[in-house]
């Protein structure tokens, strides 16, 4: 396949591939699936893999010597209110080799008016996580009003989030441009070095390009890089590599 280096899809793919959190959070995820995921992550030079906690140790073995980081999910996908369990699960994940924690904020409690429990869980996990990157999943698709997303974003930032993440990918509505705009605006207004992860429903090069453009517009050219912007997806990697002629 001949790749046109000036084609818009090629430029988007080159930007997006190093930002990818290559994800397998399927209910039937197996050791074989993890082997395939990690092999693809190495070959494509993505930012990270994102897997269930029980697969961290295998990923650590398969990715040893690689710059690809290992992310896992905590309080996922239900976003419950058991802070002690979230802290224990985080500590175990870090012991197993995780570098990044994607924590589901207790979003139902937050929407019911209990911001205290939401902030308390983020703060507790932040403390145990230490230098590990903490991405807080807002589950923005459950928040029909932009003001709710803005308040949740501000809460998570104040409680110690390193990244704001849109979605678990398990809700009826996942990432949307409107949610991305609200979350990025909250990050910009905070003045803190907080990143953004868009996740849920991204499958095409155009999908990636849409969110890259939003980040460029709100945060400015040059802000997007792996330490500030991630894309959580499973099938998107194939679309991006295809736009590059099958090569990372």
Task: CATH number of the domain at 190, please.
Answer: 3.20.20.70
Supply the DSSP symbol for 53: G
Q: Is 89 among the residues known to form the active site?
A: no
Within a domain: 58: yes
Could you say which of 24, 135, 197, 207 is catalytic? 197
Instruction: Please report the pLDDT score of residue 64 as a whole number.
Output: 97
Average pLDDT over residues 156-170: 98
Q: Is 40 among the residues known to form the active site?
A: no
The parent domain of residue 189 ranges over: 8-243
**Rounded to 10 degrees, what is the CA torsion of 163, 169, 175, 179?**
-60
Within a domain: 83: yes
The per-residue pLDDT for range 78-101, each reduced to its tens digit, is: 999 999 999 999 999 999 999 999
Average pLDDT over the chain reads: 96
Residue that has been written with the tokens 């073995």 in this structure? 61
Q: Is 160 in a helix, a strand, or coil? A: coil
Tell me, yes or no, if the pTM score tops 0.85. yes
Within a domain: 1: no
Q: Is 96 among the residues known to form the active site?
A: no
Q: How far is CA 181 from the centre of its chain?
A: 16
pLDDT beyond 60 at 2: no
Within a domain: 132: yes
Measured distance between the N- and C-terminal CA atoms of the chain, rounded to whole angstroms: 14
Instruction: Please report the pLDDT score of residue 101 as a whole number.
Output: 99
> Which residues, in sequence order, are CB contacts of 29 under 8 Å at separation 6+?
51, 52, 55
Q: Are 245 and 2 in contact (CB under 8 A)?
A: yes
Instruction: Please report the pLDDT score of residue 84 as a whole number.
Output: 98
- Here the tokens at position 49 are 């893999």
Share above pLDDT 90 across residues of the chain, in percent, rounded to a whole number = 95
How many domains, the chain? 1
The H-or-E segment that residue 199 falls in is strand 195-199
Q: How confident is the model at residue 190 (pLDDT cuts 50, 70, 90)?
A: very high
Could you say which of 9, 162, 165, 207 is catalytic? 165
Instruction: Please report the pLDDT score of residue 202 as a whole number.
Output: 96
The per-residue pLDDT for range 192-219, each reduced to its tens digit, is: 999 999 999 999 999 999 999 999 999 9
Average pLDDT over residues 168-183: 97
Sheet strands (E) in 82-156: 100-104, 133-137
Q: How confident is the model at residue 3 (pLDDT cuts 50, 70, 90)?
A: low
Within a domain: 2: no
Could you say which of 102, 135, 162, 207 is catalytic? 102
Within a domain: 248: no
Within a domain: 69: yes
The per-residue pLDDT for range 217-244, each reduced to its tens digit, is: 999 999 999 999 999 999 999 999 999 9
Distance CA 155, CA 188 (A): 14
Within a domain: 3: no
């Amino acid at each position: 396949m001949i790749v046109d280096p000036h084609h818009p899809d090629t430029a988007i793919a080159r930007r997006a591939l190093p930002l990818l959190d290559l994800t397998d959070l399927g209910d039937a995820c197996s050791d074989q699936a993890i082997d395939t995921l990690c092999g693809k992550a190495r070959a494509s030079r993505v930012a990270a893999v994102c897997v269930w906690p029980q697969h961290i140790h295998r990923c650590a073995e398969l990715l040893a010597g690689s710059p690809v980081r290992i992310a896992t999910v905590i309080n996922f996908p239900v976003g419950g209110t058991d802070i002690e369990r979230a802290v224990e699960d985080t500590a175990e994940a870090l012991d197993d080799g995780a570098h990044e924690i994607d924590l589901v904020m207790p979003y139902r409690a937050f929407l019911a008016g209990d911001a205290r429990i939401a902030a308390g869980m983020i703060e507790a996990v932040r403390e145990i996580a230490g230098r590990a990157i903490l991405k807080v999943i807002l589950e923005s698709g459950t928040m029909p009003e932009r003001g709710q997303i803005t308040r949740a974003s501000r809460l998570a930032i104040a409680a110690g989030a390193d990244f704001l993440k849109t979605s678990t990918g398990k809700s009826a509505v996942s990432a949307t441009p409107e949610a991305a705009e609200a979350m990025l605006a909250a990050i910009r207004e905070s003045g803190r070095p907080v990143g953004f992860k868009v996740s849920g429903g991204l499958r095409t090069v155009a999908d990636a390009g849409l969110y890259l453009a939003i980040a460029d517009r709100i945060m400015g050219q040059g802000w997007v890089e792996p330490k500030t912007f991630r894309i959580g997806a499973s099938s998107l990697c194939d679309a991006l590599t295809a736009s590059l002629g099958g090569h990372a």
